[in-house]
Structure 1
Amino acid sequence: MTDLVEAEPGPRIDPTERIELLLRDLRGSRGGLTTREAERRRIHHGPNTLRRRGRRTWRRDLARQFTHPLALLLWAAAGLAGAVGIVPVAVAIVVVIMINAAFAFAQERHAEQAVEALAAYLPMRARVVRDGAITDIEATGVVPGDVLVIAEGDRICADARLLDGGIEVDLSELTGESMPVYRSADAVDVGVPLAQARELVFSGTSCTEGEARAIVFATGMHTELGRIAALSERVERDESPLEHQVRRVAWLIALISVLLAAAFIPLAMLGAGLSPINSVVFAVGLLVGNVPEGLLPVITLALAIGVRELARRGAVVKRLSAVETLGSTDVICTDKTGTLTENRMRVVTIDTATGAHDPGATAGKDDPTLARVAAAMAACNNARLADAEPAVGDPTELALLVAASALGQHVGTDERERFRQRLFHFDPVRKRMSTVDADRTGRLRVHAKGAPEALLPLCTAEFGSDGGIRPLSPHRRAQVAELVDARAEQGLRMLAVAERDLTGRTAPGNREEAERDLMLLGLIAMEDPPRAEVAEAVRLCHGAGIRVIVITGDHGLTAAAVAGQIGITRGTPVVVTGAELDRMSEADLDELLAGPTELVFARSSPEAKLRIADALRAAGHVVAMTGDGVNDSPALRRADIGVAMGRSGTDVAREAATMVLVDDNFATITAAIQAGRRVYDNIRKFICYIFAHTTPEVTPLLVFALSGGAVPLPLTVMQLLAFDVGTETLPALALGREAAEPGLMRRPPRKRSESVIRTPMLLRAWLFLGVIAAILAMTGFFFVLIQGGWHLGDPTGPGTPLHHTYQQATTMTFFGMVAGQIGTAFAARTDRASLRSIGVLSNRLLLWGIAFELALAGVIIYVPAMQSLLGTAALTPAMLAFTLPYPFIVWGADELRRWLLRRHEGHTRASPQRPRLGERPRRRRR
């Protein structure tokens, strides 16, 4: 982020002074700034951003790389080697520590930058008045003197004084108070702290209800939030559960290694008869061989790569740990509108007392009932529809304005605001909205729209076909209810529109007084087609064992119809309304959610989302919950993965969520879960790959010790270090980029408690792949020794006839381990599927990693400087040919193991499961 200019520009401003004086001091007006003036002020004041304080310095990050458990293990090995005078080995180990620290430091910084870069995908937005028109800009471009347009759900991006209107504001960021407070342009407080001034709003707070305009008096570090940020001294990054698991494993490896080394020194001296120097060499090699140096940085990098790939797919994940959580998600609770559907509302039918009307048709436009409906749709609306500007507002309200305009109604914003006297915002609990509007004679009228079941009980009359008013009889109410159900069963969204003439010229003081004795004008049926790609995404979810539950504020029949069209429900679902859910006990809800029933929660409130999320999490499920409104934020925070809408969602919802969908598309959730599973799989793959090298690294030391020194050390500590550092890391990184295995989305979700490092993985790595690679490496060692005329116990030290043969033999061990490592890399690419099914050469990064590994091995074996440093010797073509089958033997053995596993699993699935005695299918709860 760019730092704000330090100098305080101009004289200090008192934001609580009379509004005329404040406008003068800010050189602003109620009509906002021009674009040119705003740009000049941006240069002078700097961007509207907070300077990051207390961020971990690069020195501290680098120091951490020298103190994690695996690094401490290497320090112990270096100290042990130095204590007994093996200086070259001690120096080499220190060099390895330095290289590992530099690599890990670079990867952690890369991961941190990957998460920070996501801010570019979701820049905070603000609506300001520029050049006399409302303009949507990035919040960083807001300057003092700008006029902010604030609406429900907006995150306020600067300190400002209200010019008109009143809003409810959540000040918890500043004051810690969770209850919203009312702020109004009409309130004037003098001599109170700024945070208590009722005409001021502040950066970082959120508008929870209402609309207002405000003039900005402070931005960036000069805001109240900026002053708080300036006091911050330290910011710590939370460790993800995966990183915590791996760190615990690292400590366990370190502890086991130290205990083994400490136990083997006396064993080697007393049992095998080794000298103290050889025993220490053995202990140092044992410590080094047990250290998976690349484990921590490679995991961090894999998570960061996963985050970036998800961002490219349209899912912005706000923290690394969410990637692993996505892989275990087993329940998705999704909205309908905009997530499952295109959120492109279109009014298809308007039903009034005169019948059904198509607003796009010319016939019937002179109908007085349609004219009253059109007037109500235009008045009880907060959207903006203008030719010169992009349409702004909720898709439902925009569709109503389009229909009203088609019916000949004037839908201009200025006229609507001029005649509006009172606004009662849409209430997600009441499921309705209303306004009090004056006509040109000053007569007041209430206009209301909302869910039919919420609005109809408030109606006592209906506008008749003859233009008169008639009572809304029980029979007529039943007819209207049947019509609503019939339209909803077609997947159409239903709204009722009503009005009431007020006898006086004073607007009602509260909502209850306004929304009573209404006259029904008509029903509006709107179409919002399902997204084309959602059906396939739902199919993948079902195949992956992921349950999809629809939680919507829409009519139950509409939601059920859409759910059926896209395959979420495959039979007749149980539709639970918000009222029915409220009457359920916790036990009843738990039983309902635990059953196999297909569920649709309709006319649900945000509080219902929170309750459902709690119940599912209490049952052990990993829950992804979608939401877009201010009131959805508690449920988004409570879910394991809160998913906010990037287009239609509010700033508050996006901040509360773990993941933001840039395209508001359900299919993106499925893609994110698939990517999360793939990243988690790849982490396991390279953990298996890294651990598989422990056995071949330790085996030469054990052969040396158990033979009592009769067999010379098959691999020197220096060569072991070269193998660990030089040849292992790049293939491990390549495995982190592996494509998804076939059948990835046909597996059930992993359990929340499942560890990333499991016993079968360790057995495969240490006792299968590792043992095969160790046998091959030792076979090459003895092949060269015996070919050179060596017999058990023959001396091989410097100056002896067999010394060059011994150097070739250790080099053969080194290269044999490299060849086995290549086979291990190909084997680790898949856990169950055959390598042919994913493509032998499909991972090009792995091929480049292997090419680099072989080139480095060639340098180590054939360059004279490396030969003198590491004790290697040039291998003959015959020796190289001897190692040629090694990769194929390691990979082929694992391919056979996987084939046997698939065959066993196929037989298990094919075996018929006999029903248990007395078992009956569970009844569906209704």
Structure 2
Amino acid sequence: MGETVKTGRTGTAPDPEERVELLLRDLRTSRSGLSSREAERRLLHHGPNELRRRGGRRWPKELARQVTHPLALLLWAAAALAWVAGIATVAVAIVVVIVVNAAFAFVQEAQAERAVEALAAYLPHRAKVVRDGREEEVEATRLVPGDLLVIEEGDRVSADARLIDGGVEIDLSSLTGESVPAYRSTSLADTGVPLLQARDLVFSGTTCTEGEARAVVFATGMRTELGRIAALSERVGREESPLEAQVRKVAWLIALIAVAIGAAFTPVAVFAAGLSLDQAVVFAVALLVGNVPEGLLPVITLSLAIGVRGLARRGAVVKRLSAVETLGSTSVICTDKTGTLTENRMRVASVWTGAGEQPVGGAGEQPVGGATGDAAVRALAATVAACNNARTDPGGDVLGDPTEVALLEAAGALGEPLDPALRERQRRRHFHFDPVLKLMSTVDERDGAVRVHSKGAPEALLPLCTAVAEPDGGTVPLTPVRLRRVEERVDAYARQGMRVLAVARRDLEPGRPLPDRREEAERGLTLLGLTAMIDPPRPQVADAVAHCRAAGIRIIVVTGDHPLTAAAIARQVGITGDRPTVVNGEDLDAMSEDDLDALLRGQRELIFSRSSPEAKLRIADALRAEGHVVAMTGDGVNDAPALRRADIGVAMGRSGTDVAREASTVILTDDNFATIVAAVRAGRRGYDNIRKFICYIFAHSTPEITPAVVFALSGGAVPLPLTVLQLLAFDVGTETLPALALGREPAEPGLMTRPPRKRTENIIRAPMLLRAWLFLGVICAALAMSGFFFVLLRAGWHPGDPTGPGEPLHHAYRQATTMTFLGMITGQIGTAFAARTERASLRSIGFFSNRLLLWGIAFELALAALFIYAPPFQDLLGTAALTPAMVALTVPFPFVVWGADEVRRLLLRRRAADGRTPPEGPAA
């Protein structure tokens, strides 16, 4: 644009100090716009006015990532080994598990990468421009720098432009977070302010709520502020979630254990037990496959999917399964204010007249004025209804500027009939809101009287008042004492973060000409009172904040709104106390990274106001660098980059923009901050259930390995207590459904009073392994082996006696291995009940609360009976029918395993009560 134009992050930006004539010169345009031919030439040079996305198709890469996950690779190896060992059925089953999990996860995540496409929806399809000296409509994508844009009420702005004529109210909430529209005018030229605050500029993606203006386009497409945010969103990539990182570690740990066990068994079996090399390798492969948890991916998927479905019923749509768990580990929530903590609509909370303060109810409630008989209140209601441009649609909804909508609704609540059509017929003069004067006035004829109705900022309107209305409808002079009383009330409202407007009127003398200039109308006014407006907090937010505090989750307000308003809302909902630390955008921009880190560490009650998209990114990065798991909430276009950067982006579904919804991983369809608490609870529950499953799986490693160890250490004197196919039938057949059922476990008591776990905390820890391998596993192994020796010894077996085919003890040996198989299954049932809780008593969550587990156990027992008593499976697995006495021996096994662990958990709770161990948090 020449030497007076600054080039910054958005490309070419206007200099607010530059005269309009120089801007037109540098853009090589005029007040009559471009010619059509010149516009076509510029379109070729600058490109279409649209947001572009880099890169091509991503789905092949995403699909490949699902089938090459470390746990998937381990399952591929297990399937290959099972195939080599001649166990084709097991190999096919494992491959099916891999494919189903990959397909399900891919479908869940495929919709999460369309943020820039949604940004494109913020550009209108058509735009009004002046070309060839006349107004015409063109496709918004064909706008070019130098075009003269015509902006009217209700239009969405199509490009970044500088006003050259007129004034408009612009809703900037999608870019700045401000809930109140901003006035933009040719006569207002700001210097030394951020670009978005320059009052002579309008920006792509914002909406005109009132007025009419013309503006010269200086930036289109990716060079606009909207394009800059799109570029930020594109550069911010998705990182691995805590759960994904933990599952990766678990996969390698399981692989190491499985390979080590298989490799260690082969030489021992060959040299100590005298097995042939082929037999030893087959059994080693069986041990390796047996120690691969084929159900881990399905259980993780099921547990998270259950959380997803539950959250959908509560009003949260989760676009990526792992996001459920990530919410459960959240330690900091950075929340927007407008539309997140608040309802994103202005509302008159109370009015103040000579009779004092009076609350204002919602539409349809008992009118305050009518209830009190306060004539001043009724006069105030009539005035704000007359001095107003909001309107009602056929459905009865009020439309227009949010402030005027709030005032009109308040007038209705105060007993004033709402009839915009009648208002227009009674209006004789209209003096539009002037942002310099901060006033709006109308002259209306009503009931035979002609009155001036005025409203505006108290500091602007009070000097124009000479009297104040009394409750009975009379007036008294506005003396210095009365004026000070009014000003004190204004200050009190301001400290509460409310927006205050003064309301006044004046009766005109009959027969006198109507005032044509506002200076003639806006004088000698009678003050009727004050209106105090606020964007109210959502009713459920305070409770949600209290739950977050109990769960140890820190809440930081990061908003583009005014600091006083943000602080007032944060105080009302309980996020902060009376003295929070408030940092505005300029101060934050001036901070070094070290200063920001120190601020976040040192101050618990923080509010960041007037925050830019880059500022939100800085805050998220700083918190994540400290090891926090960060959830970022938002609803505007300006929130998109931070929503993508955070560990979990939470967007508003109703009031939120498409951009925010696409950039996020969780969408609150009810726009209710309280739903975040439900999501945190679901995430913690899901994580606990995954840990319970892993404990359940690991507990079976000991009884699976013990038969091989006994056989090897005895040098073959003790025959194999479990055959290869019986081991695989146990691992793949009977174990799966109860394991999956643990993903449906209800939450344990005290779940939401734990502190958040650290990002680096391992999902598998030493206490879990000790509980699984050396407590539950040892008990199950001892019970299973006791059943094996009970049958053999009862048949007259002695160590070293032959038990092979054709030997007298062969049938007893088959019954003994079957007893080992059944003993492991019954012990497994006890393990399932024990794993349902980590510290709490089973009674606290209910013995029958997990019906899927009960059905899984029933299926497991039916399958075991089929394996034991059906002749085809007897031939395949080497089992033999058991006598009632043998079966009766295994009946107490589940109660022994569960009872022992119940005693262990009781001792843990007592130690916690004595203060010797932490009272909460995941246990072994």
* Shorter-normalised TM range: 0.5 to 0.7
Matching of residue 574 in structure 1 with residue 579 in structure 2: yes
330-339 or 622-631: bigger deviation? 330-339
Tell me, in whole angstroms, the C-alpha distance in 2 between the residues paired with 1:688 and 1:568: 38
Shift of 1:693: 1.2
Shift of 1:338: 5.5
Tell me, in whole angstroms, the C-alpha distance in 1 between the residues paired with 2:127 and 2:422: 21
Change (3 A) 1:611 1:486: farther
Q: Is the 8 A contact 2:439 2:461 kept in 1?
A: no
The superposition leaves residues 870-919 of structure 1 with CA deviations (integer Å, 9 ceiling, x where unpaired) of: 1111111111111111111111121122112111222126999xxxxxxx
Shift of 1:862: 0.4
Match of 1:465? 467
- After superposition, residues 744-783 of structure 1 pair within 5 angstroms as 744-783=751-790
State the AA in 2 paired with 1:645: M
Change (3 A) 1:262 1:619: closer
Tell me, in whole angstroms, the C-alpha distance in 1 between the residues paired with 2:482 and 2:635: 36
Match of 1:869? 876
Tell me, in whole angstroms, the C-alpha distance in 1 between the residues paired with 2:581 and 2:829: 57
Provide the secondary structure at the position in 2 that maps to 1:660. strand
Change (3 A) 1:423 1:683: farther
Q: Is the 8 A contact 1:780 1:816 kept in 2?
A: yes
Q: Is the 8 A contact 2:70 2:251 kept in 1?
A: no
Tell me, in whole angstroms, the C-alpha distance in 1 between the residues paired with 2:701 and 2:461: 77
Match of 2:627? 620
Match of 1:311? 312
Provide the secondary structure at the position in 2 that maps to 1:830. coil
Tell me, in whole angstroms, the C-alpha distance in 2 between the residues paired with 1:368 and 1:550: 39
- After superposition, residues 349-748 of structure 1 pair within 5 angstroms as 349-351=350-352, 361=369, 370=380, 374=384, 378-379=388-389, 385-388=392-395, 390-391=397-398, 398-403=405-410, 411=420, 461-465=463-467, 482-487=488-493, 493-496=498-501, 523-526=530-533, 533-550=540-557, 553=561, 556=564, 560=568, 563=571, 567-568=574-575, 572-577=577-582, 579=584, 582=587, 585=591, 590-591=597-598, 593-595=600-602, 599=605, 601=607, 604-605=610-611, 612-748=619-755
State the AA in 1 paired with 2:818: T
Provide the secondary structure at the position in 2 that maps to 1:672. helix
Shift of 1:77: 3.1
State the AA in 2 paired with 1:283: A
Shift of 1:850: 0.4
Shift of 1:656: 3.0
693-702 or 671-680: bigger deviation? 693-702
789-798 or 521-530: bigger deviation? 521-530
Q: Is the 8 A contact 1:493 1:555 kept in 2?
A: no
Q: Is the 8 A contact 1:625 1:641 kept in 2?
A: yes
Match of 1:105? 99
Change (3 A) 1:733 1:524: same
State the AA in 2 paired with 1:601: I
Provide the secondary structure at the position in 2 that maps to 1:316. strand
Tell me, in whole angstroms, the C-alpha distance in 2 between the residues paired with 1:825 and 1:418: 81
331-340 or 652-661: bigger deviation? 331-340
Tell me, in whole angstroms, the C-alpha distance in 2 between the residues paired with 1:733 and 1:752: 26
Tell me, in whole angstroms, the C-alpha distance in 1 between the residues paired with 2:62 and 2:844: 44
Provide the secondary structure at the position in 1 that maps to 2:305. helix
Q: Is the 8 A contact 2:386 2:442 kept in 1?
A: no
Tell me, in whole angstroms, the C-alpha distance in 1 between the residues paired with 2:140 and 2:727: 59
635-644 or 878-887: bigger deviation? 635-644
Shift of 1:833: 0.6
Change (3 A) 1:237 1:802: farther
664-673 or 634-643: bigger deviation? 634-643
State the AA in 2 paired with 1:309: G
Tell me, in whole angstroms, the C-alpha distance in 1 between the residues paired with 2:71 and 2:893: 37
Tell me, in whole angstroms, the C-alpha distance in 2 between the residues paired with 1:250 and 1:732: 17
The superposition leaves residues 523-549 of structure 1 with CA deviations (integer Å, 9 ceiling, x where unpaired) of: 421367765544443333222212334
The superposition leaves residues 669-719 of structure 1 with CA deviations (integer Å, 9 ceiling, x where unpaired) of: 111111111011111111111121111111111212222222111111111
Q: Is the 8 A contact 1:346 1:399 kept in 2?
A: yes
Tell me, in whole angstroms, the C-alpha distance in 2 between the residues paired with 1:347 and 1:615: 38
| Structure 1 gap ranges (5+) | 1-15, 19-51, 83-89, 127-138, 148-156, 172-177, 181-204, 214-223, 225-235, 426-431, 450-454, 508-518, 913-926
Match of 1:325? 326
Match of 2:19? none
Identity %: 57
Match of 2:302? 301
Matching of residue 829 in structure 1 with residue 836 in structure 2: yes
- After superposition, residues 765-804 of structure 1 pair within 5 angstroms as 765-804=772-811
Match of 2:132? none
Matching of residue 207 in structure 1 with residue 190 in structure 2: no
Q: Is the 8 A contact 1:351 1:524 kept in 2?
A: yes
| Structure 2 gap ranges (5+) | 1-33, 37-55, 129-138, 144-148, 161-173, 177-202, 212-221, 223-236, 361-366, 446-451, 470-477, 505-514, 519-525, 920-924
The superposition leaves residues 267-290 of structure 1 with CA deviations (integer Å, 9 ceiling, x where unpaired) of: 332344332233223322321232
Match of 1:74? 78
Provide the secondary structure at the position in 1 that maps to 2:631. strand
Query: How many pairs does the alignment contain?
Result: 745
Shift of 1:318: 2.1
Tell me, in whole angstroms, the C-alpha distance in 2 between the residues paired with 1:535 and 1:144: 41
State the AA in 2 paired with 1:96: V
Q: Is the 8 A contact 1:377 1:400 kept in 2?
A: no
Shift of 1:820: 0.9
Match of 1:45? none
Q: Is the 8 A contact 1:333 1:550 kept in 2?
A: yes
Matching of residue 901 in structure 1 with residue 908 in structure 2: yes
Change (3 A) 1:347 1:826: same
Tell me, in whole angstroms, the C-alpha distance in 2 between the residues paired with 1:749 and 1:179: 32
Q: Is the 8 A contact 2:307 2:682 kept in 1?
A: yes
Tell me, in whole angstroms, the C-alpha distance in 1 between the residues paired with 2:256 and 2:877: 28
The superposition leaves residues 806-865 of structure 1 with CA deviations (integer Å, 9 ceiling, x where unpaired) of: 111111111111111101111110111111111112110100000000000010000001
The superposition leaves residues 528-581 of structure 1 with CA deviations (integer Å, 9 ceiling, x where unpaired) of: 7765544443333222212334556467489558745x5545xx5313445598
State the AA in 2 paired with 1:97: A
Tell me, in whole angstroms, the C-alpha distance in 2 between the residues paired with 1:757 and 1:606: 40
Tell me, in whole angstroms, the C-alpha distance in 2 between the residues paired with 1:687 and 1:418: 77
State the AA in 2 paired with 1:102: V
Q: Is the 8 A contact 2:350 2:532 kept in 1?
A: yes
Provide the secondary structure at the position in 2 that maps to 1:821. helix
Q: Is the 8 A contact 2:818 2:879 kept in 1?
A: yes
Q: Is the 8 A contact 1:341 1:531 kept in 2?
A: yes
Q: 1:845 aligns with which of 852, 858, 868?
A: 852
Q: Once superposed, what is the RMSD of the aligned Cα atoms? A: 5.4
Q: Is the 8 A contact 1:284 1:717 kept in 2?
A: no
Matching of residue 820 in structure 1 with residue 820 in structure 2: no
Tell me, in whole angstroms, the C-alpha distance in 2 between the residues paired with 1:650 and 1:62: 30
Match of 2:262? 261
Change (3 A) 1:580 1:56: closer
840-849 or 479-488: bigger deviation? 479-488
Q: Is the 8 A contact 1:404 1:411 kept in 2?
A: no
Matching of residue 882 in structure 1 with residue 884 in structure 2: no
Tell me, in whole angstroms, the C-alpha distance in 1 between the residues paired with 2:547 and 2:500: 33
The superposition leaves residues 443-491 of structure 1 with CA deviations (integer Å, 9 ceiling, x where unpaired) of: xx99997xxxxx6788895444389xxxx999999766632342366x6
Change (3 A) 1:66 1:678: closer
